[in-house]
Amino acid sequence: MRLNSHPSGRHFLQIPGPTNVPDRILRAMDYPTIDHRGPEFNALARKVLRSLRQVFQTRQPVIVYPASGTGAWEAALVNTLSAGDLVLMWETGHFASLWKRMADRLGLKSEFLGGDWRKPVDPDAIEQRLRADTQHAIKAVCIVHNETSTGVTSDVGAVRRAIDAARHPALLLVDTISSLGSIDYRHDAWGVDVTVAGSQKGLMLPPGLSFNAVSEKAVSSCKASTLPKSFWSWEEMLSTNANGWFPYTPATNLLYGLSEACDMLLEEGLDAVFARHARHAEATRLAVKAWDLEILCGDPAAYSGSLTAIVMPEGHDADAFRKVALENFNLSLGQGLSKVAGKVFRIGHLGDFNDLMLMGTLSGVEMALGLAKVPHKAGGVQAAVTYLRDTAPGARA
Ligand SMILES: *Cc1c(COP(=O)(O)O)cnc(C)c1O
């Protein structure tokens, strides 16, 4: 239950996922569930599995699970690895840490590099570590493309080049749960072996679907991998998907929505989608700078296009501030997770989003900063307005 049981107007769901589900997708899902072994479903599945490849920028299969992103993390690990295998991971933040904990729980050995929650993955450090691994004990390198707890985006192509430069056979596994459909991501061109994604962020769907895009190398490593797998097994998925079927009941209505989501992204054009996100991210950062608050990401080259994490001034609690924003303006902002709990709040600017939704969000933040008596300068909203005006399509003259 919301605090105000009859809030008029729309709730502002500006957490970095789940994101706002557009009406077009809500309507696309509002149909009777059909027989998942019938011809109508078969046509839908073939279409969705084809469109998905375009969104992942791949010619390889994309597997769809009726699960949250965490399930697709597990699928990526259990299909490619064997008990005791060593995986090299990079600690960008909370989500990288959860993926590592999962690897440990599954009986893998994991090694964490990095640990600075304000910096992206360092490809040179990965290359050095792989060069030192002359016995090829490391079986996979696992990274989070866009670390949602910190708003830091890493260069996946550079990590691929680092693995190649070290002439190391490790697989490259990448979590794109908060970047796919928001920040440029290329499964094939960047030589990724398994891409993990979820439905409820850039894909604008409700939670409940997750994905593994796979490479040929990943599929062949699946044959040798001995970690137990049944529900998550790629083998039956790939063989049945090839003919437009699923090995168990799919999330039919979410697939209606997924089909619509892919259409929306491809109609807008992926480049336009990424540019839209980058522009809203820049406008947000201009507001944060004008407020004289600090952006958590410490490397401007790694600023995230899908969310911005903002450091609370010393002595102020981020969660108390978020509560003020929710209670007064019906605006949900992202909380700080684990190590940065209470210390940061996050503005999600991804998914189905436009200039005026961003301005509503930033206005809510600025008003809540005032009400919560968080020390800041005025003018953040104005800085974003000016930037959006000057970069609007009609401003070219
Ligand atoms: C949201 C998120 C997850 C967790 O996904 P669930 O759908 O909650 O299981 C993992 N990694 C990243 C980068 C995320 O943004």
Calculate the alpha carbon distances from 223 to 71, 218, 238, 358 in Å: 20, 9, 13, 47
Of all protein residues, the one whose alpha carbon is nearest to atom 5 of ligand 1 is 69
Tens of pLDDT, residues 257-304: 999 999 999 999 999 999 999 999 999 999 999 999 999 999 999 999
Residue 75 has pLDDT above 80, yes or no: yes
Domains in the chain, CATH or no CATH each: 12-20+269-396 (3.90.1150.10), 23-266 (3.40.640.10)
Q: Which of 65, 95, 205 has most ligand 1 atoms within 8 Å of CB, for mutation?
A: 95
- Contact 87/97 with Cβ under 8 angstroms? no
Q: Which of 90, 149, 177 has most ligand 1 atoms within 8 Å of CB, for mutation?
A: 177
Tens of pLDDT, residues 89-120: 999 999 999 999 999 999 999 999 998 999 99
CA atoms within 13 A on the CB side of 127: 13
Contacts of 350 (CB under 8 A, 6+ apart): 16, 17, 19, 178, 182, 201, 202, 277, 305, 306, 307
Q: How far apart are CA 259 and CA 257, in angstroms?
A: 5
Does any ligand 1 atom lie closer than 6 A to the CB of residue 178? yes
Q: What amino acid occupies position 48? A: V
Average pLDDT, the chain: 97
Q: Which of 13, 64, 65, 70 has most ligand 1 atoms within 8 Å of CB, for mutation?
A: 70
- Is this model's pTM higher than 0.95 or not? yes
Does any ligand 1 atom lie closer than 6 A to the CB of residue 66? no
Q: What amino acid occupies position 258? A: L
Rounded average pLDDT over 342-350: 98
Give the model's pLDDT for residue 2. Answer: 56
Give the model's pLDDT for residue 57. Answer: 98
Does any ligand 1 atom lie closer than 6 A to the CB of residue 198? yes
Q: How far apart are CA 58 and CA 7, in angstroms?
A: 43
Range in 5-9, 105-109, 152-156 the model is least confident about = 5-9
Q: In this structure, what token pair is assigned to residue 72?
A: 């697709």
CA of 199 relative to ligand 1 center, distance in Å: 10
Contacts of 293 (CB under 8 A, 6+ apart): 310, 311, 312, 313, 376
CA of 103 relative to ligand 1 center, distance in Å: 15
Nearest to 72 by CA among 219, 203, 148, 173: 173
Residue 391 has pLDDT above 80, yes or no: yes
- Index of the ligand 1 atom closest to the CA of residue 144: 13
Residue 159 has pLDDT above 70, yes or no: yes
Does any ligand 1 atom lie closer than 6 A to the CB of residue 250? no
Is the peptide bond between 18 and the residue preceding it cis, with omega within 30 degrees of 0? yes
Give the model's pLDDT for residue 353. Answer: 98
- Index of the ligand 1 atom closest to the CA of residue 68: 7
Cα-trace Rg, the chain: 21
Helix or strand or coil: residue 88? strand
CA dihedral of 161, 167, 171, 177, whole degrees rounded to 10: -10
Tens of pLDDT, residues 215-240: 999 999 999 999 999 999 999 999 99
- Index of the ligand 1 atom closest to the CA of residue 16: 15
Of all protein residues, the one whose alpha carbon is nearest to atom 10 of ligand 1 is 95
Give the model's pLDDT for residue 350. Answer: 98
Number of C-beta neighbours around residue 44 at 10 A: 19
Tens of pLDDT, residues 319-332: 999 999 999 999 99
Give the model's pLDDT for residue 7. Answer: 79
Tens of pLDDT, residues 165-219: 999 999 999 999 999 999 999 999 999 999 999 999 999 999 999 999 999 999 9
Residue 6 has pLDDT above 80, yes or no: no
Q: Which of 178, 203, 211 has most ligand 1 atoms within 8 Å of CB, for mutation?
A: 178
User: Residue 396's pLDDT band (boundaries 50, 70, 90)?
Assistant: confident
CA of 339 relative to ligand 1 center, distance in Å: 17
Percentages helix, strand, coil for the chain (3-state, rounded to 5) are 45, 15, 40
Give the model's pLDDT for residue 271. Answer: 98
Number of C-beta neighbours around residue 394 at 10 A: 6
